[in-house]
Amino acid sequence: MEGLGVAANVIAVVDLSAKVLKFCYQYSRDVRDAKDDIIRMTSGLENLHNVSYRVRELLDGPDGARLSASEQQISKSAGESESLLRSLHDRLDPGQGRKAMRRIGLRALKWPFQSEEAAKIVQDLTRHSQTMTLALQVDQTAITLDIHRKLVLAQLESKVAPGASYDSHANEHNPMCLQNTRVDILKHISEWAHDPSAKAIFWLNGMAGTGKSTISRTVAKSFAAKGLLGATFFFKRGESDRGSISKLFPTIAADLARMLPGVARKVKAAIDRNPAILRGAMRDQFDELVLEPLSEIPSGRRTGLILIIIDALDECDSEEDIRRLIGLLSGADKVTSAQLRIFLTSRPQLPIQLGFGQIEGTYQDLVLHKVSDCIVEHDISTFLEYELGRLRDEYNSSVPTNRWLPPDWPGQSKVRTLVQMSSPLFIFAATACRFIGDRRYGSPKSQLAEILRVQTKSQTSKMDATYLPVLNGLLAGIPEDQWSETLRPFRDIVGSIINLQSPLPVAALAQILPAYPKDAIEDRLDLLHSVLDIPPSEDRPVRLLHLSFRDFLLDPRKEGKSPFWIDEGKVHAELANNCLRLMDHHLRQDICQVGRPAFPRQHIPVEKLNVCLSPAVQYACQYWVHHLEGSADGDGPSCEEVYGFLTRHFLHWIESLSLLGRAFAVGNLIGKLQSHFKLSEFLDDAERFTIFQSPFIDSTPLQIYASLLVFSPKKSIIRTTFEDQIPKWISPLSQVPNDWGESLQTWEGHSDQVRTIAFSHNSTLVASGSVDSTVRIWRVDTGESLQTLRGHNGCVTSVVFSHSSALVASVSVDETVRIWRVDTGECTQTLQHGGLGGSITFSHDSSLVASSSGDETIRIWRVNTGQCVQTIIAHDSRVLSVCFSHDSALLASASEDTVQIWRAAAGEYMPVQILQPPVALCGDQPDVIEMEVSFSHDSALLAFIAGPSGNVWIYRSDAGEYVPVQMFDAGDPVGFIDIFSFAIHHDSILVASRTVTEKLKLQTWRADAGKYLRVHTLEKCCNQAISSVAVSYDASLVAMGCKNSAICIIPLNSVEATQTHDGDHGKRVERLAFSHDSAFVASYGSSGKIIKLWRSDTGELVRTLESPSTILLLAWSHDSDLVAGAADDNTVRIWCADTGDCMQTITAQHHSSQL
């Protein structure tokens, strides 16, 4: 353009409008009539002047060259404005005559326009102003969106997996489908993607080597050319970030931001709102970085098809992550602002099949190895003819004519044989062609003959036929008794390459493998170009061409049978040893020579980092623990060697991880070391050190020495071990505590009071419900928030896991029950049940949910459909508790005045019995009812307890009906006054505690043939009333807490108390709970801040757990490893029973009311 012409026009408009405005101001002062016209024209001129002045500033500024969209419109409007202004200037200029007339006192000025003409001029001025303004808005919006895009890409840069995109440098030499191959498959995929009514997910699966990734790359290239490709992620095992799920969604978000400027703005807003999202839970990342930005595209800017490709899902390291990801992706159909399509490829492995089984009906699939043989053979034949023809031409161009291959080489019969050997594995054909074309082995003719020697049909032997011709060449001409000299370096070098977590260049491999210099490694790899990607550049890493080569070499079935079999455990052990050696030699304090403790790691140039921490040392720091885990028993570093390294270099190691942007991984790595070695004291202290200080470690690594050591407790093992590394200019602090204290971690996420918490039945997860209307799922071992379940519109009052731990149900004051999938966070059902209060329970097989409510009803729901299969209206007051029997054949419900029994018959629960105790359940205080109803494991007994009186009713099944066996209330002739605690166990043992006038008695009963074999009476345990009772889960022991803080452990086959302990719990013992393995009992008392753990067999006090605030509730995990306590400082703390460490702390604004 024309850029200079536009600028000149705009400058002319600015100057002319200023001059014409000056005339208008003079007319406004000197002319009495036409005032309104003059004012309107002056206003129009001022607007045009201001707009043109802003345009001039933008054109002169740094973004002037980017005003491409508005250039033509501004040029046209400025030109027309200039012509109009020149006309106005000429007509409004009074000339010299006006000065002479003013000397004689006459008003010489006369407004030269009629009203109609003035109005038309004002309209034109306004139109030109608006045109330039709108044109500018278009370009300014584009500039703003481009800024958003650049900013968000900068934020995502460190979280994007290098090489994961289909068009990355790492993938540029990977093949596409040849023309006229895979025609039907590619057409099928294209039709699915463009079909508005199609499923959102397409799963292309096939066994190893069937060409899935080649198809993915071809689809990606085709859709990218049409502007329809949103994002790609190609998983690759052994390439760190591409082998895990951690960077999947940030990578996809970055690709979408490049394609859609509006998405970039939304992604940036999500990151600004919650910076932790980039390392957050998978569900949160998918929602906030992908779904929500796509869903919030304004209705006026609806976009068309957007395709996301995720290739080689089976190469993701974690099977659990794969299943969760599949479930998450099934939510793609929630996006309505675009036609979002997700194309997935994988092997048909069991975890993936199970994942897709859970989202049945939401995807379309195609199985490559079930495609018609004739189609596959046609495609392989086309590929072979093309590749072999190319190899023939290249060979003939490099040799004398007397050595040329014939024009029809290799001939149709040999091509057909190769096709039969290959089908359905494209990897066979591709590897064969690479081998035939590798001149290091010989001529194409001799190489082809070597391949044709082996003809096979089974897939396993096809892998032999694929790779053995290449590997056998390593031994060609070598006597068998000398093979070991070749095979040992092969196993060491190639074994390391295929087991590395991230590929390395040859120079870095030489550092990792000290026995092999760089030249020696290069020599060994020369004959492996057919199976390894060996780049010509020294800086690029050596990679696997296909994962099946790794599978072939590590196949345990080949041990002792194949000379090329590699022992994976031994390779890992050697890599672990070499990584430790490398780090021990290179790591030191301030390895990048930064000097200043507050210097941010982001300001260290990458070039300097790579010099100070070589690629091999970087690798060792990140993955030595991984190789330690994979080491064969007895071959890896010993406990003493690991301990020695940690005591010398622990701080240097985490400094290096921080410099690499991997500080977030330290806690997980320490956890893996804890499971591998018995270094509990050192590693426990290291874990506390890194968790408490993680924000500083991540941002300013040298603060590890200058601040973190200084502020660590005086008795911290890390501090005492590395105290000599505290800078000398720092004075010792007198106010530093001696120990870390009780809390190890704090779980943060809820924004209001945590009202309810529950362990999963496998003890690996915790669910918490809050006043903030959300449910969160947490990992017990790491404290990671796996899911945030949103959907309730009010306080969540109760949560419960299904017995399989796959589902969680939540109840809210919004009068709904929601059922969620634990793995994906998806709300599978929303069940409407009016009325507040009540309870919810899963049947043991997790197929049904029963909910009770204050609306006097019970509802039975099918978990898989959400269908209310039955509404029971039988109670005359609110239903407080509901419970399934273990076999789901019975249902019990309790209201304020009755307990009712229901039996399953013909798909419904039918009433079979109404139990009406002679004393009202609610007692004297109906507003403070607490009700629990429970079946024994074999359904022989039914018991329920009501508060506040604590009355207990026991019923036994007799000929299909429950008959009363015993009722204990204030009028019991035995002399009981009240009941404080109640427990029933699966083997039909019931224990109740009661306060007796003047003395204490504990009564226990065992049901046997309609009789109670024993009534235990315990006297003289203490001088105070019993305050709590618990039964061990194996029904062998009962624990009793008293108000004088004593604790009694009693075998149920004994009359007397076998253990009596001074619990030192203040005035009384508030709560007791047996571990599920019955080995321990936990207690806390009115002093409130102490939980004590006792051995149930000996009565020994083994742990004292301290809480900074008063404990209100107490519970064990189902595996008996953890103890949870809810306190009045709005926290729930989880302690490790074995060590006494506080593993996690969940924090909210108010205290928890249920545990």
H or E segment and range at residue 939: none
362 and 410 share a domain?
A: no
Instruction: Judge whether residue 954 has pLDDT over 60.
Output: yes
The mean-pLDDT minimum among 572-586, 641-655, 1004-1018 falls in 1004-1018
Burial 824-855 (b: 16+ CB within 10 A, else e): bbbbebebebeeebbbbbbbeebebbbbbbbb
β-partners of residue 309 are 232, 343
Residues 808/800, Cβ–Cβ less than 8 Å: yes
Question: Tens of pLDDT along 779-836?
Answer: 766 667 788 899 999 888 888 888 878 899 998 888 889 999 887 788 888 888 877 6
How does residue 1041 score in pLDDT terms, banded at 50, 70 and 90? very low
Please report whether residue 1153 resides in a domain.
Answer: no
Please report whether residue 592 resides in a domain.
Answer: yes
Residue given tokens 């030699």 in the structure block: 585
210 and 320 share a domain?
A: yes
Q: How far is residue 263's CA from residue 268's CA, in Å, rounded to a whole number?
A: 8
Residues 343/309, Cβ–Cβ less than 8 Å: yes
Q: Is the peptide bond before 535 cis (omega within 30 degrees of 0)?
A: no
Three-state SS at 1005: strand
Please report whether residue 620 resides in a domain.
Answer: yes
597 and 698 share a domain?
A: yes
Last residue within a domain, chosen from 725, 757, 791: 725
| Region 721-728 average pLDDT | 86
229-234 β-sheet, strand order: 229-234, 305-311, 339-346, 201-205, 363-367
Instruction: Judge whether residue 451 has pLDDT over 70.
Output: yes
Instruction: Judge whether residue 257 has pLDDT over 60.
Output: yes
| Region 536-564 average pLDDT | 89
pLDDT of residue 318: 82
pLDDT of residue 978: 36
Question: Tens of pLDDT along 665-708?
Answer: 888 888 888 877 767 788 888 887 887 666 678 788 888 888 88
pLDDT of residue 741: 62
Question: Tens of pLDDT along 1105-1123?
Answer: 888 777 877 778 877 788 8
Q: How far is residue 223's CA from residue 214's CA, in Å, rounded to a whole number?
A: 14
DSSP 1069: E
The mean-pLDDT minimum among 80-84, 191-195, 962-966, 1019-1023 falls in 1019-1023
Q: How far is residue 125's CA from residue 17's CA, in Å, rounded to a whole number?
A: 10
294 and 351 share a domain?
A: yes
Instruction: Judge whether residue 374 has pLDDT over 80.
Output: yes
Q: How far is residue 312's CA from residue 233's CA, in Å, rounded to a whole number?
A: 9
How does residue 1068 score in pLDDT terms, banded at 50, 70 and 90? low
How does residue 1074 score in pLDDT terms, banded at 50, 70 and 90? confident
H or E segment and range at residue 503: none
290 and 379 share a domain?
A: no
Please report whether residue 885 resides in a domain.
Answer: no
How does residue 60 score in pLDDT terms, banded at 50, 70 and 90? low
Residues 436/555, Cβ–Cβ less than 8 Å: no
Q: How many domains does the chain have?
A: 4
Domain residue limits at 334? 160-371
| Region 434-445 average pLDDT | 87
Whole-number mean pLDDT of the chain? Answer: 79
Q: How far is residue 864's CA from residue 819's CA, in Å, rounded to a whole number?
A: 10
Please report whether residue 14 resides in a domain.
Answer: yes
More confident residue, 909 or 1017: 909
**What CATH number does the domain containing 71 carry?**
1.20.140
Question: Tens of pLDDT along 488-501?
Answer: 999 999 999 999 99
Residues 6+ apart with CB under 8 A from 657: 621, 622, 663, 665, 666
**What CATH number does the domain containing 266 carry?**
3.40.50.300
pLDDT of residue 506: 95
385 and 327 share a domain?
A: no
How does residue 965 score in pLDDT terms, banded at 50, 70 and 90? low
Question: Tens of pLDDT along 280-319?
Answer: 778 888 988 999 888 877 544 445 899 999 999 999 888 8
H or E segment and range at residue 736: none
Residues 6+ apart with CB under 8 A from 225: none
A 10 A CB-CB count for 160 gives: 19
244 and 274 share a domain?
A: yes
Please report whether residue 1127 resides in a domain.
Answer: no
pLDDT of residue 61: 61
193 and 233 share a domain?
A: yes
Two structure tokens written together for 515 = 């026995």
Instruction: Judge whether residue 989 has pLDDT over 70.
Output: no
The burial of 627, by beta-carbon neighbours within 10 Å (0-12 exposed, 13-18 middle, 19 or more buried), is given as buried
Beta strand pairing status for 1111-1116 and 868-873? unpaired
Instruction: Judge whether residue 974 has pLDDT over 80.
Output: no
What does the H/E/C string look like for 251-289?
HHHHHHHHHCHHHHHHHHHHHHHCHHHHHCCHHHHHHHH
More confident residue, 341 or 761: 341
303 and 395 share a domain?
A: no
DSSP alpha helices (H): ranges in 680-774?
Answer: 680-699, 703, 709-711, 717-722
Instruction: Judge whether residue 988 has pLDDT over 60.
Output: no
Instruction: Judge whether residue 1045 has pLDDT over 60.
Output: no
How does residue 634 score in pLDDT terms, banded at 50, 70 and 90? confident
The mean-pLDDT minimum among 76-85, 756-765, 897-906, 1135-1144 falls in 756-765
Instruction: Judge whether residue 267 has pLDDT over 90.
Output: no
pLDDT of residue 450: 85
Please report whether residue 511 resides in a domain.
Answer: no
How does residue 5 score in pLDDT terms, banded at 50, 70 and 90? low
How does residue 1152 score in pLDDT terms, banded at 50, 70 and 90? very low
Please report whether residue 19 resides in a domain.
Answer: yes
330 and 384 share a domain?
A: no
Last residue within a domain, chosen from 316, 340, 371: 371
Q: How far is residue 598's CA from residue 312's CA, in Å, rounded to a whole number?
A: 42
pTM passes above 0.85: no
The mean-pLDDT minimum among 854-863, 869-878, 976-985 falls in 976-985
Last residue within a domain, chosen from 725, 758, 776: 725
633 and 678 share a domain?
A: yes
594 and 671 share a domain?
A: yes
| Region 864-884 average pLDDT | 83
